[in-house]
Amino acid sequence: MPMSTLASDAAPARPVGRRPYETRRTFAIISHPDAGKTTLTEKLLLSGGAIEMAGAVRSKGNGRRAKSDWMDIEKNRGISVTSSVMTFEKEGINFNLLDTPGHSDFSEDTYRTLTAVDSAIMVIDAAKGIEAQTKKLFEICRLRDIPIITFVNKVDREGRDPFELLDEIEAELALSVAPMVWPVGQGGLFKGCYDLTKNDFLFAGSDRTQHYAGGLDDPALKAALGESAYAGFRDAAELAAEGYADFDPEAYRQGHLTPVVFGSALQNFAVDRLMDFIAEHAPEPRPQPSDKGPVDPSEDKVSGFVFKVQANMDPKHRDRVAFVRFCSGHFKRGMKLDHVRSGKALAVSNPIYFVAQERALTEEAYAGDVIGIPNHGTLQVGDTLTEGENFRFTGLPAFAPEVLRRVRLEDSMKLKQMRRGLEDLAQEGLVQVFRPTIGSDWIVGVVGPLQLDVLASRIAGEYKADVTFEPVQYNVARWIRSDSEQKLKDFIRENTMNVVRDRDGWPVYLCKDDWDLRYITGKHKDIAFDATREIVQGGDGGK
């Protein structure tokens, strides 16, 4: 799979003796908003040779346009509101980097993205430590046994004591920590970062890295740092090395230990070390769960699943791209794959890979790779593609929305555009759209109110229809099901005003609050009210 530059047609070099999938590293970056996740993403792309200039979210001029943030609302607000996929190659290792939204209002998109990765980088602000969204995303990683590397960012600014941060990680996340790269000073006294495992010093204010064969006792290191800075650093580094766990690759891969790298994404400190660590220690593609058991990446037949759909990445073409994570086999451009949900064959003639919004055709892909398949609505989140086999991948969830609103169209002549926009963005997973049994008003459900701003912005920009949102009498939504088809039909008939259908046709019960929900669940013991449901091939909607 060509990854080194957008113009490259040559396949990347591969370390001798490795199977192609063993050179893949598919990972996500997770953090609380403003911890520096997008800036780190840019610097990793820069380090990998994927871009020529990194754009910081809050910089000026051309540099302000972060490559991983391509929507207008992302550029204007300086936040990530959708997951980006970026692919590049360095020294024979193929990296698939999935940048996720940090804002909690977009956690559903993040959760689905995390089903497609094998490891994650957790970014922590050196001044703030573990924040609320960081902890939530960590718990999601723990549920899926995703190994985590911790990058403590912004050490070139005033921040908390490194030992305090390490202790907080151990206490809050119940993880052993293994310091790998240690800061020398902070804020105005910051002099650089020291690699505790390789005895390399990364000097602040320059691109120079110096190796000290004598380690912490090397006289040349003392001379480079100066007497006062050296004394404090040496004591701290020795305590860090002795007081915390040694790095254990197996414990890291099992999710019990997190290696910790202190650095600065903005100033490009320790970013190369982070990338080297991913290449050397992050897991290669792992077996993926399916309804027929785990699918091993070494299997010969091609298989993969759609974890994300993005509409209108190129507004000129009104395109829809399905992001597919391959789980096994050797995919080649032009192959026909079975679309398990429809039972039909799908010819994949224009597979693409990404550096954010820039794209290029790819001729092949292996387990661990993420490619985009342009389509006109054929592929949906949760779909499985196989090479002649009949199974489906599992584990992609949908969550009950926490905010419900009625959609109001400003210009009734734009009804068709509004409907198309709602349906497209619901398939993309940005919002959930519900159709009432009685009446024509559409209801949208979101995790947080910022999603409503994004929804209105995108419908206006991409579909040329202006919409607003009004409160409804409902605040709680639950998917309903029953072992008895007749009892489910009877319940729906008796509660017509409260039952709507989601985009896949599944029945959803809406009620005013948790008290109403407890009352109705107590009254109807044969009906299950689910806060989550698994996205399985679009489903038959329980019709």
Compare 67 and 33 and report the one with higher pLDDT.
33
Lowest mean pLDDT among 1-5, 296-300, 432-436, 534-538: 1-5
Q: Is 90 annotated as a binding residue?
A: no
| CA nearest to 128, candidates 98, 146, 102 | 102
Is there a binding annotation on residue 35? yes
**Average pLDDT along the chain:** 84
31 labeled part of a ligand binding site: yes
Percent of the chain past pLDDT 90, that is, above it, reads 54
Distance CA 221, CA 211 (A): 9
Q: Would the annotation count 322 as a binding residue?
A: no
Are 392 and 537 within 8 A, CB to CB? Answer: yes
Phi and psi of 271, rounded to 5°?
-65, -40
Q: What is the pLDDT of residue 308?
A: 87
The reply, when asked if residue 464 is annotated as ligand binding, is no
Q: Is 250 helix (H, G, I), strand (E, B) or coil?
A: helix
In the beta sheet, which residues pair with residue 470?
406
Tokens standing for residue 218: 């090397």
Q: Is residue 36 a known part of a binding site?
A: yes
Query: Confidence band (pLDDT; 50, 70, 90) for 296?
Result: very high
103 in a known ligand binding site: yes
**Are residues 141 and 30 in contact, defined by beta-carbon separation less than 8 angstroms?**
yes
pLDDT band at 207 (very low <50, low <70, confident <90, very high): low
Q: How confident is the model at residue 52 (pLDDT cuts 50, 70, 90)?
A: low
| pLDDT tens per residue across span 227-244 | 888 989 999 999 999 999
446-486 pLDDT tens trace: 887 888 988 999 899 889 999 999 999 999 999 999 999 99
pLDDT at 261: 96
Confidence tier at 396 by pLDDT (50, 70, 90): confident
Is 99 marked as a binding-site residue?
A: yes
Residue 76 scores a pLDDT above 70 = no
Annotated ligand binding at 155? The verdict is yes
Beta bridge partners of 177: 258
pLDDT of residue 258: 96
Reported pTM: 0.79
Q: Is 34 annotated as a binding residue?
A: yes
Which pLDDT value is given to residue 99?
A: 76
Q: Please give the pLDDT value at position 80.
A: 41
pLDDT of residue 188: 80
Cα→Cα distances 89→2, 6, 122, 369, 460, Å: 8, 11, 22, 12, 37
Using CA atoms, how far apart are residues 96 and 539, in angstroms rounded to an integer? Answer: 29
147 is in an annotated binding site: no
Provide, rounded to the nearest whole percent, the portion of the chain with pLDDT above 70: 85
